[in-house]
């Protein structure tokens, strides 16, 4: 079990044991971050962001800087060679001489997989269209693991844009690999969880899901409520976005009878789908989630680079 040199394109690229390895190192980093401040000295992260991102990009940059490494790359495809028409394969083959590990975000689904086929250094998928966002999933799993103490026997409700929400797709396909998890999908009919992914759940894990349009119907019965933003950038038609954008708004009053140890999670950024008054509720886990994202990315990159992480006591 060695993650050195391995790509992370889909969370299912890692076995459950490998995921545990990432989480265990992340836990150690949470407890003693400064001890890991030099483990990636001399290493460079290349950031290829063909689509705007604040949180994920800064989180990766911060993670590498906190490990003592350096960062180079672009945050806007218009200022990169992609604007001149360079293919992903060529960009990656050049960049792998400049950096030791790559994170790529791209609007086209499967683009990071293509990059991994041409790269000699590890490629991390930082989000590809509406497809996958594996490091958000690692963040989500680390959060659940730390706050619930387990990754199995959970009833997980996912609410909002389940059609284009890549964080949802990645999270569901990964949690499905752990024992006895159940899924509740809450969305307007236009933004339902994709049929082909539902088929994959059935085919690979024999999991049937419960679908509803009502948050109130199920909120009191779930262990985790994963809220998502209705994403304006995924709509071809502004009118459809305007009609659907306020479909679900979680307020503190709706949480009144929810389980006392339920977690409210959100990949952020939020718009209005979680009212600010929920922030004060002890079940609100989304800011903790964002914080843990740094540690999980630190652990991931350190393991993919194969640096010495046995630093405690040194």
Partner 1 sequence: MLKVNSINCGIVIDHITAGKGIKIFEKLKLSEVDFPVVLLMNVTSSKFGKKDIIKIENKIDLDLTMLGLIDPNITVNIIENDEIVNKMSIEIPKAVQGMFKCKNPRCISNFDEYVSPSFELAHVNGKIKYRCSYCEELTSYTI
**Catalytic sites, residue numbers:** 55-56, 84, 105, 133
Compare residues 58 and 94 and give the one whose CB is closer to partner 1: 94
Exposed, middle or buried, 278 (CB in 10 Å: 0-12/13-18/19+)?
buried
In the complex, the smallest distance separating the C-beta of residue 154 from partner 1, rounded to whole angstroms, is 24
Is 86 a binding residue for partner 1 by CB under 8 A? The answer is: no
Question: Which residue do the tokens 């540690």 mark?
Answer: 295
* Token pair of 167 as six digits: 């964080």
CA distance 145 to 6: 23
The count of residues interacting with partner 1 (CB under 8 A) is 22
Is 196 a binding residue for partner 1 by CB under 8 A? The answer is: yes
Considering only residues 6, 57, 66, 113, which one is a binding residue for partner 1 as defined by CB under 8 A?
Answer: 113
Q: Given the rule CB under 8 A, which of 68-76, 144-152, 197-205, 218-226 is the region that contacts partner 1? A: 197-205
Spatial contact of 29 and 298, defined as CB atoms under 8 Å apart: yes
Is 306 a binding residue for partner 1 by CB under 8 A? The answer is: no
Spatial contact of 9 and 112, defined as CB atoms under 8 Å apart: yes
Compare residues 128 and 273 and give the one whose CB is closer to partner 1: 128
Nearest to 223 by CA among 312, 293, 301, 153: 153
Considering only residues 129, 146, 192, 281, which one is a binding residue for partner 1 as defined by CB under 8 A?
Answer: 129
Instruction: Count CB neighbours of 202 within 10 A.
Output: 12
CA distance 305 to 297: 12
Spatial contact of 284 and 251, defined as CB atoms under 8 Å apart: no
Is 80 a binding residue for partner 1 by CB under 8 A? The answer is: no
Is 126 a binding residue for partner 1 by CB under 8 A? The answer is: no
Is 227 a binding residue for partner 1 by CB under 8 A? The answer is: no
Is 65 a binding residue for partner 1 by CB under 8 A? The answer is: no
In the complex, the smallest distance separating the C-beta of residue 111 from partner 1, rounded to whole angstroms, is 4
Spatial contact of 195 and 262, defined as CB atoms under 8 Å apart: no
117: enclosing H helix or E strand:
helix 111-118
Q: Given the rule CB under 8 A, which of 23-31, 39-47, 193-201, 301-309 is the region that contacts partner 1? A: 193-201
In the complex, the smallest distance separating the C-beta of residue 173 from partner 1, rounded to whole angstroms, is 9
Compare residues 85 and 313 and give the one whose CB is closer to partner 1: 85
Is 241 a binding residue for partner 1 by CB under 8 A? The answer is: no
Is 105 a binding residue for partner 1 by CB under 8 A? The answer is: no
Compare residues 112 and 293 and give the one whose CB is closer to partner 1: 112
Nearest to 293 by CA among 134, 89, 96, 95: 134
Nearest to 306 by CA among 101, 140, 114: 101
Compare residues 39 and 92 and give the one whose CB is closer to partner 1: 92
Residue 56: HSE in the Cβ half-sphere, 13 Å Cα cutoff = 26
Is 118 a binding residue for partner 1 by CB under 8 A? The answer is: yes
Contacting residues toward partner 1, per CB under 8 A: 87-89, 106-111, 113-114, 118, 128-131, 195-197, 199-200, 203
């Amino acid at each position: 079990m060695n993650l050195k040199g391995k790509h992370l394109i889909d969370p299912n690229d890692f076995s459950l044991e490998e995921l545990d390895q990432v989480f265990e190192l992340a836990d150690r980093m949470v407890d003693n971050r400064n001890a890991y401040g030099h483990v990636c000295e001399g290493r460079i992260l290349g950031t290829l962001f063909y689509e705007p991102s604040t949180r994920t990009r800064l989180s990766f940059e911060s993670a590498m800087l906190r490990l003592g490494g350096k960062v180079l790359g672009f945050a806007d495809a218009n200022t990169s060679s992609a604007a001149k028409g360079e293919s992903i394969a060529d960009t990656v083959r050049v960049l792998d001489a400049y950096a030791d590990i790559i994170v790529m975000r791209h609007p086209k689904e499967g683009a990071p997989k293509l990059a991994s086929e041409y790269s000699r250094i590890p490629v991390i998928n930082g989000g590809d269209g509406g497809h996958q966002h594996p490091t958000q999933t690692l963040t989500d799993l680390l959060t659940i693991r730390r706050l619930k103490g387990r990754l199995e026997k959970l009833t997980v409700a996912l609410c909002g844009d389940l059609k284009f929400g890549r964080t949802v797709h990645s999270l569901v396909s990964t949690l499905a690999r752990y024992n006895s998890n159940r899924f509740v999908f809450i969305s307007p009919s236009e933004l339902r969880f994709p049929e082909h992914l539902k088929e994959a759940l059935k085919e690979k894990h024999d999991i049937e899901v419960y679908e509803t349009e009502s948050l109130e119907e199920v909120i009191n019965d779930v262990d985790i409520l994963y809220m998502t933003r209705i994403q304006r950038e995924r709509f071809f038609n502004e009118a459809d976005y305007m009609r659907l954008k306020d479909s679900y708004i979680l307020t503190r009053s709706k949480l009144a009878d929810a389980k006392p140890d339920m977690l409210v999670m959100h990949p952020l950024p939020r718009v209005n789908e979680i009212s600010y008054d929920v922030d004060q509720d002890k079940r609100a886990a989304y800011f903790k989630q964002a914080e843990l994202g740094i540690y999980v990315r630190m652990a991931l990159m350190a393991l993919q680079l194969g640096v010495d992480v046995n630093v405690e006591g040194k």
